[in-house]
Chain A
Amino acid sequence: MLNDLQLNSILEDFDVAYWKINLLTKEISWSEHFNYLIGNPDTGTNKLDFFLNNILHKDYRYDFREYFENLTDHYKPFTTEIRLKLENGKYRWFECRNLKSREKGLADAAVLLFVNIHQAKRDQYTIEENFFYYRETAEMTSTGGWYLDVTTNAVYWDNVTKKILDCPMDYEPHPEDKMRFYANEHHEKVERMFKKCSKFGIPFKVEIKMRTLHNREFWVRATGKPVYNNEQEVIGIRGVYQDIDEQKTNELNLQNSLDIIASQNSRLFNFAHIVSHQLRSHSSNLSLIAQLLREARTAEDKLDLLLNVNDISENLEDAINELNEVVTRQNNLKKERQLVKFKAALDVVIASTSSLIKRENAEIIAEFDKLNEINYISEYLESILLNLITNAIKYKFQGRKPIIYIQTYKENGESFLEISDNGMGIDLDEHGDKMFGMYKTFHRHPEANGIGLFITKNQVEAMGGSISVTSTVNIGTTFKIKF
């Protein structure tokens, strides 16, 4: 048996204080450590009252008195958690319980232990608090957790995941419909990233489209990280789904607005360009003529100058027509895409250029069998074909019958249109970078107005595609459009 002294020192080491209660006299004596904890106060004669009024947190007064009286009057043991004010004035959590006397005959004394459980209590609160924040955050951001057991393919979802996938709370995902909750167009991507993660432990963080139980598609940010066993083998993938449909839709809308603004901005820029370079040059010529008229001495000189005014007015009209063309073309942007047959578009273009084709004896060969239609704006397709075909004829190789070869095809899932000619070609080393700029003409050709390719490029890009060119001087040119 340990003696009291030894026992005391052990209890102190474990930060345990105690009371001894004489059940007959109800006299209470506090252990040294207990006195030390509460700062060795002057308690007066009634230790219990002093304790209840000055040490115990008021929330526990009533309960503690009950417990205490039950113990002293009816020998009823108890265990409770209370808060005590320590010598530094701060409340700390203690567990209070009485030591059971095994020998009934000796039950004239009771011992109450006070065990400091403050740290444990605080940890518990922190965990509860963290759990609360975690749950609130998950709810608020619509972020659900999931786990995939890669050995059994079993899937576990938390409640938020079920919620964002429109599944009832008792829904259990089946391993075989793993793909069912992803949008069709992303199946390949999803397969790939799960495979990479389960095989090589490569985590993923992607934005993908998922599909709810009710087949509503929506955007999700999905993360997945490998879970390893002790042998460092991937046994599962753990991650979250975050419903970002609203953000994604906003983002896409924003991108759309940006695109529209960018294209309107470039239209404004072109407008300024035309006004500055085209209109201004005519008006400045007019003003120069006015100056010269003032100085001209003979009637003949004056008449001569007036003839120039006629030329200027014609040029001015051309410039205004071009301006009108740019503006009207841009208005087509509002039109909807629809399936357009290449053959139908080409027929329209050939009909409208028949006189040019006939005059130059041009031959057009078209092969649309690999790809005969495209989801596009028909006016654009016609305009693109028109510009490229008239270009090919305009810049033919002198003395050579112009042949234009048009074909469409698919490659790596992308749609292409190619228009090749046997014309005079362009030196791309010299002109390549500004090929599609406005008012860039590369041929000393009277019909070159420098606006066709600029418009073509604008139209192709407005539809989300791109245009490129290859050319050899004196051999011919090929334009390639990726839709």
Chain B
Amino acid sequence: MDHPIELACIIDDDKIYVNLVKKIIEIKKLSQNLIIFKNGKEALDYFKAILENVSEERLPDIIFLDLNMPVMDGWEFLSEFVKIKNTFNKKITLYVVSSSIDPRDLERAKSFNMVTDYLIKPIELKRFEKIFEREVA
């Protein structure tokens, strides 16, 4: 991987999962940088601050969003994120990653245009790598 993704982002409250994904990204060198948020609100506040004070270039290239989180869950994050989406041009790929196998969750996630795909935990290493490769290509 000569040109890994510059910045990946994980929004998830499961510490163990986050640590494991972090490890994968480090070992496989899938992304140069990684930022992690414990819930939707932390992520949203950060993105808003970046857009206001820095530059949209500093937004992540790819986001992995969990659904079931305290304070602001994945659904609320998505509906808030839709509102600020028009204020910048950078292309951000967003994956919903959840342990829920409820088909209603899957349907609902796909109803958001910005959601590229719905990944069911556990994510497969091969699939995960492919997602990053596709982003770079």
Footprint of B on A, CB under 8 Å? 272, 276-277, 280-281, 283-289, 291-292, 295, 305, 308, 311-312, 315, 439-444, 448, 450
- Residues of B near A441 (CB, < 8 A) are 70-71
- Residues of A near B15 (CB, < 8 A) are 311
Take A308-B20, A448-B70 as given contacts and tell me if A276 and B122 are in contact as well, using a CB distance cutoff of 8 Å: no
Residue of A276, A289, A448 touching B102 (CB-CB under 8 A): A276
Contact between chains at B124 and A291 (CB < 8 Å)? yes
Contact between chains at A280 and B121 (CB < 8 Å)? yes
Q: Chain A contact residues: over half helix, strand or loop, or mixed? A: helix
Residue of B16, B71, B122 touching A315 (CB-CB under 8 A): B16
Footprint of A on B, CB under 8 Å? 14-17, 19-21, 23-24, 27, 38, 68, 70-71, 99-102, 120-125
Contact between chains at B122 and A311 (CB < 8 Å)? no
Known: A281-B99, A288-B122, A292-B125. 19 other contacts (CB 8 A): A272-B102, A276-B100, A276-B102, A281-B14, A283-B122, A284-B17, A284-B99, A284-B122, A285-B20, A288-B21, A288-B121, A288-B123, A291-B122, A295-B27, A311-B16, A312-B16, A440-B70, A443-B71, A444-B71
Alpha-carbon distance A288/B71, docked complex (angstroms): 26
Take A276-B99, A276-B102, A285-B20 as given contacts and tell me if A439 and B68 are in contact as well, using a CB distance cutoff of 8 Å: yes
- Residues of B near A295 (CB, < 8 A) are 27, 125
Take A277-B68, A280-B121 as given contacts and tell me if A292 and B99 are in contact as well, using a CB distance cutoff of 8 Å: no
Take A281-B14, A295-B125 as given contacts and tell me if A288 and B101 are in contact as well, using a CB distance cutoff of 8 Å: no
- Would you give the shortest CB distance from A303 to chain B, in whole angstroms? 13
Contact between chains at B122 and A285 (CB < 8 Å)? yes
Contact between chains at A284 and B121 (CB < 8 Å)? yes
Contact between chains at A277 and B100 (CB < 8 Å)? yes
Take A281-B121, A441-B70 as given contacts and tell me if A288 and B100 are in contact as well, using a CB distance cutoff of 8 Å: no
Q: List 27 A-B contacts (CB under 8 A).
A: A276-B100, A276-B102, A277-B68, A280-B99, A280-B100, A281-B17, A281-B99, A281-B121, A284-B120, A285-B16, A285-B17, A285-B20, A285-B121, A287-B122, A288-B121, A291-B122, A292-B24, A295-B125, A308-B20, A311-B15, A312-B16, A440-B70, A441-B71, A442-B71, A443-B71, A444-B71, A448-B70
Between B15, B71, B101, B123, the greatest number of chain A beta carbons within 10 A of the residue's beta carbon is seen for B71
